[in-house]
A and B are shown apart, each in its own frame.
Chain A
């Protein structure tokens, strides 16, 4: 007997909300003309994605997703939008014509084909579920794995981040005194 009768319904509703937020956020991020709305769409999508991560038994990664994507990436993009142009430029007559429509149609066809193909592949493949995993993937196990099995990759990623930050400073600082 389930001690909380509506639990299953609540779980399903929250899951549906997470999927909806992910999909709607992705659509807003791609389709909106104002870049700042696109960034907000990306943030919404990342919140939904964090919910999906939580349902996949990874609460740590759900928190990291919010912390890194919403807290760092989106805020950085907002800064770039403020420093550069806020909007997509209005379409010129040439872009409104048949050539522009053909370009949009080609993008739509390509992305739909890729999405359909990958969905079909994932759904039709007979995945073999693992009933009893060797590791459950708890946070202490992740920490131990990062410092033992994956220590080389861990050090490399930190090196990549340092080089990226230094490179960003060098690139963005160049020519700062020129008008």
Chain B
């Protein structure tokens, strides 16, 4: 039997767990920063999936690593924009709870 770290299914399982935790946090968190943290977990799950399949299944092992580099860049950009929106919202509402941001709700 292969050692644990050579088994693709373990990596896929960990990635699915990260995705599940991220979705749970995204729904349940009541502040914007908490939701942003949960979103980062989802990005991490995608990166792990890319790299695991790249290592075991892809014939060209450069592709997945480049894709993960792009995911890292996109995650950084997302955090950058998200946090500046958080700061702007906090300045206007004195709160970052998702509940208070309901001006447009009927």
Q: B77 contacts which chain A residues (CB < 8 A)?
A: 160-161, 164
Q: A171 contacts which chain B residues (CB < 8 A)?
A: 81, 84-85, 87-88
Contact of B37 with A39 in the complex, beta carbons under 8 Å? yes
Contact of B19 with A118 in the complex, beta carbons under 8 Å? yes
Q: How large is the interface on B (under 10, 10 to 19, 20 to 34, 35 or more residues)?
A: 35 or more
Q: A56 contacts which chain B residues (CB < 8 A)?
A: 11, 51-52, 54-55
Minimum Cβ distance to chain A for residue B49 (Å): 8
Given contacts A88-B29, A119-B12, A157-B74, is CB(A135)–CB(B17) below 8 Å?
A: no
Q: B87 contacts which chain A residues (CB < 8 A)?
A: 80, 83-84, 171-172
Q: Is B101 an interface residue (CB 8 A)?
A: no
Please tell me the number of chain A residues within 8 Å of chain B, measured between CB atoms.
89
Which residues of A does B touch, CB under 8 Å? Answer: 8, 11-12, 15-16, 19, 22-23, 26-27, 29-30, 35, 38-39, 41-42, 45-46, 49, 52-53, 55-58, 60-61, 64-65, 68-69, 72-73, 76-77, 79-81, 83-85, 88-89, 103-104, 106-108, 110-112, 114-116, 118-119, 122-123, 127-130, 133-137, 141-142, 145-146, 150, 153, 157-158, 160-161, 164-165, 167-169, 171-172, 174-176, 178
Q: List 22 A-B contacts (CB under 8 A).
A: A15-B5, A22-B14, A27-B21, A30-B22, A35-B34, A35-B37, A38-B34, A49-B44, A88-B29, A110-B23, A115-B17, A122-B9, A127-B56, A129-B57, A133-B61, A134-B60, A137-B65, A142-B69, A146-B69, A160-B74, A164-B77, A178-B91
